[in-house]
Amino acid sequence: MVTLACANAGEGESSVVLLEPSRDPDPEAQASLSEAGRALGSALSRLPDEQRILIERAFYGGLTHTELAAAYNLPLGTVKTRIRTGVQALRAALGQKWTSRFHHADDLALDLIATRVPDEVDAYHKMQEVVWGIIDTAFSNVVITPGVTRTEDVVWWMRQKVNDLGLGTWFHPSVEVQRRGTTDAQLGENPIIQKGDVLHCDFGITAMRLNTDTQHMGYVLMDGETDVPAGLKQALANSNKLQDIVVGEIKPGRTGNEILKSARAKMAAAGIEGTVYSHPIGMHGHGAGPLIGLWDYQDGVPGRGDAKVIPNMWFSIELQATSKVPEWNGQPVRSAQEEDAVVDGTGKVSWALRRQTAFHLVRARTAM
């Protein structure tokens, strides 16, 4: 590996850079890596000894500025100046071809954890199919009998199904109800599901050290209904529109806060009342990388929101849109959705499987 990384963060100097090797093991990529090594070695050899020695001891030997000052009996300011001047000379000698591949050392650990390899995408696709299958059955008459089944019954059916499949999960699933003419307080924590209820779940699985995070909407058909009322369909369409807005703003090099600001401006222009709280996912449920809002931080997230999107990372596009439903006398209904998405090596964003565009339906059981 051809590296140029500094261990001096926290001493008043930003960590300098790493010359990133190609991740592709093919001969052409390896030839490029060898060329990078030769270019770096040549540039180092042309530096004055007073700069070159300090840089090599700092970047390859891992010594801090303070340790170098003590080892060479130099003022700390002199060490910093010589290293800074030498790095500037290295940049000039290497040119745009190689400096365009420099990364700040501070970001390396974050990027390493956030990066997903293409071979994982196929496995992740299959995990999403399992998730969708479990939710589709959970929000159906296989599991739910209106007037009998409680939300916690559905939760524990989902949890048992995960266990039966030999999978894991990184959080306990949840199921909530919204009901015409009824407040959340009136529904309570574990209501009996009734006809006409809007259902919502938050559910994820863990397999092969990878994690999913999905939120879907369901509807329990009333007697005589064959489909969801138009106003509820529009509520789901509004959250779909917000998904399109957020996904369209995700591009490598942009920070989570930049994406959030732009997405919220477009959300307002589209007349959508909503909240964006999306996050990276992968080896951790809430993974390394930029947060795109939190439910209570809609003007930006200090620190985590300042991280940047990189190629080959995954996101959970998590958000909600609140819409007034005419069939419910204008009562606001929250359409909270979460779908996992893949940012590929070119920066293109696509759904890990697909996104929900229609309610899961709990139909009446047919008489035997």
pLDDT of residue 29: 53
Tokens of 339: 């779908």
Burial status of residue 48 (CB atoms within 10 A of its CB: 0-12, 13-18, 19 or more): exposed
Q: What is the per-residue pLDDT across 315-331, written as a single tens digit (0 to 9) for each?
A: 999 999 999 999 999 99
Q: What is the per-residue pLDDT across 271-329, written as a single tens digit (0 to 9) for each?
A: 999 999 999 999 999 999 999 999 999 999 999 999 999 999 999 999 999 999 999 99
Instruction: Give CA–CA dist 145/217, Å, rounded.
Output: 17
Q: What is the per-residue pLDDT across 28-61, written as a single tens digit (0 to 9) for each?
A: 555 555 787 888 888 899 999 999 999 999 888 8
Tokens of 163: 């266990």
Q: How many CB atoms lie within 10 A of CB 315?
A: 28
Task: Provide CB contacts within 8 A for 15, sequence distance 6+.
Answer: 5, 6, 7, 8, 9, 104, 105, 106
Instruction: Give CA–CA dist 98/259, Å, rounded.
Output: 28
Domains in the chain (CATH in brackets) are 17-113 (1.10.10.10), 115-362 (3.90.230.10)
Tokens of 361: 């339906």
- CB-based contact 307:278 (threshold 8 Å): no
Measured between its terminal Cα atoms, the distance across the chain in Å is: 68
3-state helix/strand/coil string of the chain: CCCCCCCCCCCCCCCCEEECCCCCCCHHHHHHHHHHHHHHHHHHHCCCHHHHHHHHHHHCCCCCHHHHHHHCCCCHHHHHHHHHHHHHHHHHHHCHHHHCCEEEHHHHHHHHHHCCCHHHHHHHHHHHHHHHHHHHHHCCCCCCCCCCCEHHHHHHHHHHHHHHCCCECCCCCEEEEEECCECHHHHCCCCECCCCCEEEEEECCEECCEECCEEEEEEECCCCCCCCCHHHHHHHHHHHHHHHHHHHHCCCCCEHHHHHHHHHHHHHHCCCEEEECEEEECCCCCCCCCCECECCECCCCCCHHHCECCCCEEEEEEEEEEEEEHHHCCEEEEEEEEEEEEECCCCCEEECCCCCCCCEEECCCCCC
- CB-based contact 116:313 (threshold 8 Å): yes
- CB-based contact 6:16 (threshold 8 Å): yes
pLDDT of residue 134: 98
Question: Within 13 Å of residue 360, how many CA atoms lie on the same side as its CB?
Answer: 23
pLDDT of residue 19: 46
Amino acid at 184: D
Burial status of residue 163 (CB atoms within 10 A of its CB: 0-12, 13-18, 19 or more): exposed
pTM of the entire predicted model: 0.81
Instruction: Give CA–CA dist 308/254, Å, rounded.
Output: 5
pLDDT of residue 94: 87
pLDDT of residue 368: 57
Task: Provide CB contacts within 8 A for 194, sequence distance 6+.
Answer: 146, 147, 179, 220
Instruction: Give CA–CA dist 95/89, Å, rounded.
Output: 10
Mean pLDDT, consecutive 10-residue stretches, the chain (368 aa), reads: 46 45 52 74 91 90 93 95 92 86 77 92 97 98 98 98 97 98 96 98 97 98 97 98 98 97 98 98 96 97 96 98 98 98 97 98 83
- CB-based contact 347:252 (threshold 8 Å): yes
